[in-house]
Structure 1
Amino acid sequence: MLVTPENLRSKILSFYPEITKHQIELTVHFDKDKKAWVAQLSKQQHELTTIIDPNDAQECINGIECVHLGTQIGQFIFNYCSEGDECKVP
């Protein structure tokens, strides 16, 4: 399947449901200059931008979790959702 921003975002959300659980915004786009996919997580004033290699993006679409992305998401949640109440679901 061809990688598009919509299907890559959807697949990432299916692998990492904590993004939705903690009401974190996720946007995905392809950066032509970097020749890579860019995933941006944001929650209030906090943001994390991470690069996804095209091969990793294709593997994600094919059902293989991207370990690097999972680590980044986990760190974002740990930093901005674990200690305070701002990311807690009411």
Structure 2
Amino acid sequence: MIITPENLRTKILSFYPEIEKNNIELSIHFDDEKKAWVAQLSKHQHELMTYIEKKEAQDCIDGIECVYLGTQIGQFIFNYCSEGSECNVP
């Protein structure tokens, strides 16, 4: 399957439902200069941008969980969705 921002975002959200549970915004775009996909997470004033290499993005589309991205998401939730905030920490 060809990777598009929409289908990569949908697949990431299916792997990591805590993104939506915690009302974290997720946007995806391709960075031509870095030749990699960019996942941008944001909640209030906090933001994280992480790069997803083409192979990892294709693996994700093919149903293989994005381990590196999962680590980044977990750290974002830990940093910005804890301490009694309105986030649902898994």
Shared fold by TM > 0.5?
yes
How far apart in 1 are the matches of 2:53 and 2:67?
A: 12
Could you give the per-residue CA deviations for residues 29-73 of structure 1, whole angstroms, max 9, x where no partner exists? Answer: 000000000000000000000000000000000000011000000
Q: Does 1:87 align with 2:87?
A: yes
CA RMSD of aligned residues (A): 0.9
How far apart in 2 are the matches of 1:6 and 1:13?
A: 11
Aligned residue number for residue 57 of structure 1:
57
- How many correspondences in the alignment? 88
Choose 77-86 or 2-11, whichever is displaced more: 77-86
Aligned residue number for residue 46 of structure 1:
46
SS of the aligned residue for 1:59 comes to helix
Q: Does 1:73 align with 2:84?
A: no
Residue type of the alignment partner of 2:26 = L
Normalized against structure 2, the TM-score is what? Answer: 0.94
Please state how far the C-alpha of 1:8 moved relative to its aligned partner.
0.1
How far apart in 2 are the matches of 1:16 and 1:38?
A: 16
Report runs of 4+ in structure 1 exceeding 6 Å deviation: none
Residue type of the alignment partner of 2:13 = L
